[in-house]
Copies of this chain bind each other. A is one copy, B any other.
């Protein structure tokens, strides 16, 4: 039960699309992640997907809709079942929340990131 400094946690890794768990909130994992480039389109059938941009800017593409910009200090929640794709032209640092055991890639044909704990 300690204060968690998110910038310090983010300084511990440099990989992209590689969420690292920093805390538990009930049955969820709270993670920090660095985005750069483009993730595949995917959906999570049984959970909403929580994004809060800590530094930089990302784009959230929603299947069939205009993309949304999400900048530092802004959040975006993708409701369950909605096909989406995060992407970022330059590196972007993000806080994520997902239920424990949920693959970050949802239903996409991609090996999920292992989500190490830091």
Whether A73 is near chain B, meaning CB under 8 Å from some CB there, is: yes
Whether A77 is near chain B, meaning CB under 8 Å from some CB there, is: yes
Classify chain A: how many residues form its interface, as a range.
35 or more
A25-B97, A54-B73 as given contacts; A68 in contact with B2, CB under 8 Å:
yes
Give min CB distance, A37 to chain B, whole Å.
20
What's the dominant secondary structure at chain A's contact region? strand
- Are the CB atoms of A24 and B77 closer together than 8 Å? yes
Q: Indicate which residue in B26, B50, B78 contacts A47 across the interface (CB closer than 8 Å).
A: B26
What residues of chain A have their CB less than 8 Å away from a CB belonging to chain B?
1-7, 22-26, 30, 47-48, 50, 52, 54, 60, 62, 68-71, 73-80, 82, 95, 97, 99
